[in-house]
Structure 1
Amino acid sequence: MTSETFASPAREAFVRVSARTGLSIEPREEQDVLRRIARALEPGARDIEDETYRTILCTARRKKRVSRLVDLTRRSGRIWVSRDEIEEAVGNIEEPEADDRVLERALAPVSRARLRSYGANPRAVFETVQADLVDTGRVLSPAQTDLLLMAIALAFDLPEGDPFLDTARREEAQRQKTASTIERTAREKREKEESRLRTWEESLVPFQEVPRLLRCSHKEALRWIAENRLPVARKVRESGDRERWEFDPAELIALRGKLGEWRNGGAPAVAGAGGKAPDMGRKVANSVIARVAALDRYAAHFRTARALNRRITLVTGPTNSGKSYTALNALAQADSGLALAPLRLLAHEFREALASRGVEASLATGEERILVPSSRHLAATVEMCPFYNPVDVAVIDEAQMLFDTDRGAAWTAAIMGAPARHLYVLGAPDCIPMVRRIAELCGDPLDEISLERKSPLKPATQPVRLQDLQAGDALIAFSRREVLDLRAALMQHGRRVAVVYGALSPEVRRAEAQRFNSGAADILIATDAIGMGLNLSIKRVVFAALKKFDGKQTRDLTVQEVKQIGGRAGRYGKHEVGTVSVLAGAGSPSFIRRQLEADPEMPEDLRPFVQPDADIVKAVAAEIGSESLYGVLSRIHRAVLRKDDPNYRLADMEQAFAIASALEGVDGLDLTTRWSYAMCPVDDRDNGIRRLVGWAADHAAGRRVLPPGTGRLPPSERASREELERAEKRHKRLVAWRWLALRFPEFYPDREDAEETTRRLNEWIENVLRQQSRTRSSSPGSSSRRRG
């Protein structure tokens, strides 16, 4: 057969080499194999080496082998084996016709090495692997636990009869039994609380029954209700703006003996400020709970602030208008002061800004304290606002956060309760009506200052292609995955890239911002985490998407989002003008122009968010005679604020409810401790509540809660996305642990170890993000590939 017989040199080479080696291919592999042979052929050649052909077949079959090995590990219960391990193992296989046994043989040494790298000893490895699995929402069954323990024993060459296996099995069985007991107990207590409340509510009677039960006239009943003698158990809003009053019949019957005194003009009962509500034991009326919590009179809760002659100055303006400059100068000149920021990173920046003005300040964030004994100034996150120590000046930044359903209540509390004689509130223009409303509720005079942007901001008329991005550009996406995909694409174009997204710690975000500002990175890729808390020298903002998923739906970017993010372009003193554009294929530049030119969007509901604090929780608990945090929060949710309250609305307390609910099964923690756990910053998308309950159970049992470790940190230049994400989740564990360590140091004593672990994790993540070659990805469809 001559060369002319073949359609291409690659096919001729394939026929020859496959005949020599006896290695055939499946029809679906043919096109891929021929392409790889064509790339491997020398100019003018019509044959390849046998070994080259073997390598080509292994490469072409890699994806199929990875899928097969994933299936084998999952079917056998080895769910801790990562895709990275499997890809590495498959990449080591040199047999073109490898069967399942060959695949397993290739995986074994890789898995052993991986397990050893997770910790210094078998116990540390076992705990780290379990913690990583919990992050992904997976919990080992007893059989899977046994498989993991045996794999760890093999990895560490433990001799037969080593006590680690029996001890670990016994302890894990006890841990799972405890967790199961906690879950069952929590469920039973929740059901009991709900049943008790439901039974009581079902026993209530309408007003029409009151005269019969009290043996009084209709007119007398109305008068005694007005005089606050008869407790209204529940008020139910009905259609047509009507309200139905309901009463507890047992309480009414118990009051019959007082009718004579009331008819003879005895003093009416007084409930509310300074008085004691009628004693109704455990079946306390919702109206009484509302009075105790007093969320409908929330401003009065902050007694120190109300005792001061406060003045509020509201400073609004777009990004790059210099809102903080005047306020920080006033703060630095005051004898005492307070600077409240939305992020730990910004609290540090406030502290540094004061230091640059010659004022030393202490620092207080959820997970960190820096005490300067001689200082009378404090920089803090908003949630750490001290409400009882009066100061001359306070500054609260990013007041548009008042509208945030998760954190808005913290801004309400800070603005209402900051004990400052002069309070500066800084924010975007859309916060103006809400701050006015709060000032009115507090009875504080309000001055308003409106600032203009210092450098012009203009929309681009044409979209920008990815390859045409320039040094000083910031590319905005709305998910971690999109950020890392764009990073990989730009690095393939030879661009130096820095990234900022929400899962990164403040330290890493700041390091990435510095790389961009210094010119060590040409382009910044960021999520909307860029919109708050970083000083960035951006010339042009380019949106990679004009829609975002907000946790409930995918929607267009709002006017405020476009202005807040786009306004980062053209930093004053660095660039004469800022430009806002959109990436080619992501949408129309006219959308950007319309949003930038639009007036601020004013929300329809201007009632500030409020939520209970520890004092309110304790007061309600004492009133209803319960130590159940779930029961207390349920009563607050049902009773405290009607949905049509004219002044306030209850914040979204879904996570606090979820934590309180899960903690019902943990005995030995008082109400205040449970409330602290309920406020702990955890992310339940990586099973954070389950982990928190485990820590709380150790706390309740008097055991030390050890800080999370770094786990396996491979060389940064070889780290995959999966490994990067795992490190980010470990950092979140450490944030929660350090938050609790500040509140319960006796049970979380190893703060120095935790801080050192945090430092190592941050350093490793920074090094991974500095790598300018494409990071290996374990995401579907983007795994690394070797050329044949």
Structure 2
Amino acid sequence: MQAWANRGSYCLSCTLRPFFRSGVRTFTTTPALQRSKRSSKKAQEAKQTKADTSPARPSLRSSTRSGRQNVTTPDFSIIVATLLQEIKKELAERSESSLTGWQRFERYVMNACKLEDRGTRALGTLRQLKLTLQKAYINSGTKGLRAELEYLLYAEDVTSKYSVPNLEQQARVADMRFPAEWYPQARSIQRTIHLHVGPTNSGKTYQALKRLEASKSGFYAGPLRLLAQEVYHRFTANGTTCSLVTGDDVKIPEVGVSPIVSNTVEMVNLGQTYDVGVIDEIQMIGDSRRGWAWTRAVLGARAKELHLCGEQRVVPLIRQIAALTGDKLEIHRYERLNPLKVMDRSLRGDLKNLQKGDCLVAFSRLGIHALKADIEKVTGKRAAIVYGSLPAEIRTQQASLFNDPNNEYDYLVASDAIGMGLNLSCKRVIFETLVKRVPGGLVRLSVPEIKQIAGRAGRYRSAAQQGNGNSAEDDGTNVGYVSSLEEVDLPYIHQAMAIEPPPITAAGLFPPEPIFQNFAAYFPQSIPLEYIIKRVIEVSQVHPLFFMCDPHGQLSNAEVIDTVSGLRFEDQMTFMAAPMHTRDISSRGVACAFAQCVAEHSGGRLLDIPDLNLEVLEEPVSGNKEYLHDLEILHKSVILYSWLSFRFGGVFTDRTLAAHVKELVEERMVRALTEFSANKKLRKDASLRRQIALQKQIQDHKRLLAEADFDTIESEDTASIDLSTDNNSLERIGPEAQAA
């Protein structure tokens, strides 16, 4: 039996281990979450019954979250043994050949399940197998656990038939010990790497961008579309010709060639030579899932000057990489432009202690909405919200509402999405909790995460403004403060802010497409992509300076792709890298529909795809969380359509229409977030402002008609038209709506 281990990376338990343990308690709940409405026991039982009776998906793995378990039980090995017997019985009834090596497979799985949780790392392959099975059980209950066991049995059979006989050749194909040699053109250039390190709001990226703006040619690579768009707009506003290239959006000058390109880091063009390159948030080179993109850009960028901006803890790793590539390294260190202090007291759980300009940080979409509702009920003021699944444009709009001191948006409720990519003017950052849920369960924020989020406090001025040095704010009034909603979390924040996180010791890698193509040549075309990905990672070797990134996203995409027949392997590779959101059933359906269009090379018109929930655009705008969630799903689906339109232009031909639909969705999301509140008075005020704006628009409409010599006789039809909304009428936003 070959080991199913993710070699070269840390195991799940090591990855989630905190840097130190609090002496207070593991985690805390808050009044906002306690006040949020919970599902009744009857509703939960009904949901469980529905999950147990629903048919299994025709895929190798089950990613449904129905029947989710909060923790693995002490009888986990008994559960696994029971499921193994069920599988064995079914195989015997079907006379499957898989029973040939059943005893070995069963013994291997049971040995893994009986391992102690705190045992030695010497049995790494068995421990990795146990963690894989536990994760499947936690996420999807016994149904998911059984699906994982069936996949492991299938993979064992495929491995014995096609991989073991060619193991030496396959290991040679998957050899990833020398990634610097993948980019010979970059190695032929004598590069100078400028490493700009410092805390948040220290001006490190500002200095690198100044050098980029003064160059003859160059690129910026950021972790988010938001940052790439910000640099693009900044350069174009200053008169510098610049292009924007992200996965789903391309903007190039109408005349001439742009010497500077603003990218997301995955989109850096390694086939072009530049004078200056800027790679932002370089510490993400150690990210367990996206680190490979930073490694690719650092190793492969053909830039004479390569500016890397990030945290101090990345310095030892970049030194070793520069020595490996033969590049010259210069380090520039920066100090924070304004002080940052941890408060001595928390808010003691009382939202009445909030001050204008406070940013509260929470870590779930439902928790953020619940906290927003509680704040507006208690304070009578509006709260803007920002979280990861909101579109970048909406996050920017909500941040702008919060930054504007001349409106009623006194507070911001946000997730860790504010850690990068948004300019905020918040005096205090208040952690509602220090615990967030990840696919493997609950985990406390790490020291770097706490510092990154806390660093957003007190950001009133840019580095350029700070450099003037003659502002009245230099007297210390621009101090940023950090605290917590609950007293129990404050000691951990004090400790985290006082220590330096450990250095990053390895850079992420992920097999490039040629490795997958050469590896897949050893297997029949019917072998699922999911197996190919797992097997490549299993047999690959990496240098100690690197680690293999977690393939969670690629495997989730592969699970969807494997349900569609007729896709070429090259097309499967494209979909593997696509921005799919597979956790939601409707999003998975849309992704399957898109893949089917590519397989059939037809049916890619936006309005011809029934899985797209375009009908949500016809629904009345409301502050209902389900309505907002539907808009978020549609927005992600349209983003995926745009992304695919740049790769399969002959199939997905409605890129312009997709951009229009995206704007419609964003307009409705803005209204849903700004016009609806849990506070009755705020709802009435928003309704009144909307009526005033509507009346003004009607008058403008009449004036335009009069200027065009049209008949301006007032009628009910004319009075009910609102060109800025979706078939709304005065009656629908009248007194009845205000009283709701």
Q: Is the 8 A contact 1:336 1:376 kept in 2?
A: yes
Find 2:393's aligned residue among 486, 507, 512: 507
1:611 matched residue in structure 2: 510
Shift, 1:341, TM fit? 0.6
Note closer, same or farther for the CA distance 1:586–1:505 as it changes in structure 2 (3 Å cut).
farther
Find 2:667's aligned residue among 747, 763, 766: 763
Matches within 5 A, 1:280-679: 285-372=166-253, 373-464=256-347, 465-492=350-377, 493-519=379-405, 520=407, 521-573=409-461, 576-585=477-486, 587-602=488-503, 606-622=505-521, 628=527, 629-630=529-530, 632-641=532-541, 645-679=543-577
Q: Is the 8 A contact 2:428 2:483 kept in 1?
A: no
Shift, 1:613, TM fit? 2.1
Shift, 1:600, TM fit? 2.4
Matches within 5 A, 1:235-254: none
- Equivalent position amino acid for 1:360 in 2: T
Partner Cα separation in structure 1 for residue 46 and residue 328 of structure 2: 70
Question: Is 1:747 matched with 2:681?
Answer: no
Partner Cα separation in structure 1 for residue 50 and residue 450 of structure 2: 50
Count residues with an aligned counterpart: 529
Partner of 1:685, secondary structure, is: coil
Q: Is the 8 A contact 1:284 1:623 kept in 2?
A: no
Partner Cα separation in structure 1 for residue 509 and residue 164 of structure 2: 25
Partner Cα separation in structure 2 for residue 692 and residue 699 of structure 1: 11
Q: Is the 8 A contact 1:719 1:775 kept in 2?
A: no
Partner Cα separation in structure 2 for residue 596 and residue 695 of structure 1: 46
TM-superposition CA deviations, 1:39-62 (whole Å, max 9, x none): xxxxxxxxxxxxxxxxxxxxxxxx
Q: Is the 8 A contact 1:361 1:376 kept in 2?
A: yes
Shift, 1:543, TM fit? 1.1
* TM-score, normalised via structure 2 length: 0.65
Shift, 1:357, TM fit? 4.1
Indicate the larger mover: 290-299 or 320-329.
290-299
Partner of 1:406, secondary structure, is: coil
Q: Is the 8 A contact 2:622 2:676 kept in 1?
A: no
Q: Is the 8 A contact 1:135 1:686 kept in 2?
A: no
- Equivalent position amino acid for 1:523 in 2: Y
Note closer, same or farther for the CA distance 1:415–1:469 as it changes in structure 2 (3 Å cut).
same
Structure with bigger gyration radius? 1
TM-superposition CA deviations, 1:552-589 (whole Å, max 9, x none): 23233222122111111111538633333334435343
Structure 1, unpaired ranges of 5+: 1-62, 80-133, 139-187, 189-193, 203-237, 242-279, 777-785
Shift, 1:451, TM fit? 0.6
Shift, 1:369, TM fit? 0.8
Note closer, same or farther for the CA distance 1:527–1:651 as it changes in structure 2 (3 Å cut).
same
1:726 matched residue in structure 2: 630
Note closer, same or farther for the CA distance 1:72–1:355 as it changes in structure 2 (3 Å cut).
closer
Partner of 1:313, secondary structure, is: strand
Partner of 1:646, secondary structure, is: coil
Partner Cα separation in structure 1 for residue 424 and residue 583 of structure 2: 30
Partner Cα separation in structure 2 for residue 354 and residue 589 of structure 1: 41
Matches within 5 A, 1:668-707: 668-687=566-585, 688-707=587-606
Q: Is the 8 A contact 1:324 1:426 kept in 2?
A: yes
TM-superposition CA deviations, 1:14-51 (whole Å, max 9, x none): xxxxxxxxxxxxxxxxxxxxxxxxxxxxxxxxxxxxxx
Indicate the larger mover: 747-756 or 607-616.
607-616
Q: Is the 8 A contact 1:430 1:602 kept in 2?
A: yes
TM-superposition CA deviations, 1:414-449 (whole Å, max 9, x none): 111111111011112222233223323322222111
Indicate the larger mover: 518-527 or 67-76.
67-76
TM-superposition CA deviations, 1:199-225 (whole Å, max 9, x none): 9x99xxxxxxxxxxxxxxxxxxxxxxx
Note closer, same or farther for the CA distance 1:751–1:307 as it changes in structure 2 (3 Å cut).
same
Percentage identity across aligned positions? 32
- Equivalent position amino acid for 1:334 in 2: S
Partner Cα separation in structure 2 for residue 658 and residue 74 of structure 1: 23
- Equivalent position amino acid for 2:624 in 1: S
Partner of 1:319, secondary structure, is: coil
- Equivalent position amino acid for 1:563 in 2: K
Shift, 1:637, TM fit? 1.7
Note closer, same or farther for the CA distance 1:578–1:584 as it changes in structure 2 (3 Å cut).
same
Note closer, same or farther for the CA distance 1:542–1:657 as it changes in structure 2 (3 Å cut).
closer
Structure 2, unpaired ranges of 5+: 1-36, 54-61, 67-90, 92-96, 106-120, 125-160, 463-472, 607-611, 681-737
Partner Cα separation in structure 1 for residue 531 and residue 503 of structure 2: 36
Note closer, same or farther for the CA distance 1:284–1:671 as it changes in structure 2 (3 Å cut).
farther
Shift, 1:531, TM fit? 0.5
Identify the structure with bigger relative contact order (alpha carbons < 8 Å, sequence gap 6+).
Answer: 2
Shift, 1:683, TM fit? 1.9
Q: Is the 8 A contact 1:627 1:671 kept in 2?
A: no
Partner Cα separation in structure 1 for residue 42 and residue 457 of structure 2: 49
Q: Is the 8 A contact 1:429 1:600 kept in 2?
A: no
Partner of 1:711, secondary structure, is: helix
Shift, 1:283, TM fit? 7.1
TM-superposition CA deviations, 1:188-241 (whole Å, max 9, x none): 9xxxxx98xx99x99xxxxxxxxxxxxxxxxxxxxxxxxxxxxxxxxxxx9799
- Equivalent position amino acid for 1:697 in 2: Q
- Equivalent position amino acid for 1:435 in 2: I
Q: Is the 8 A contact 2:458 2:481 kept in 1?
A: no
Q: Is the 8 A contact 1:367 1:735 kept in 2?
A: yes
Shift, 1:72, TM fit? 12
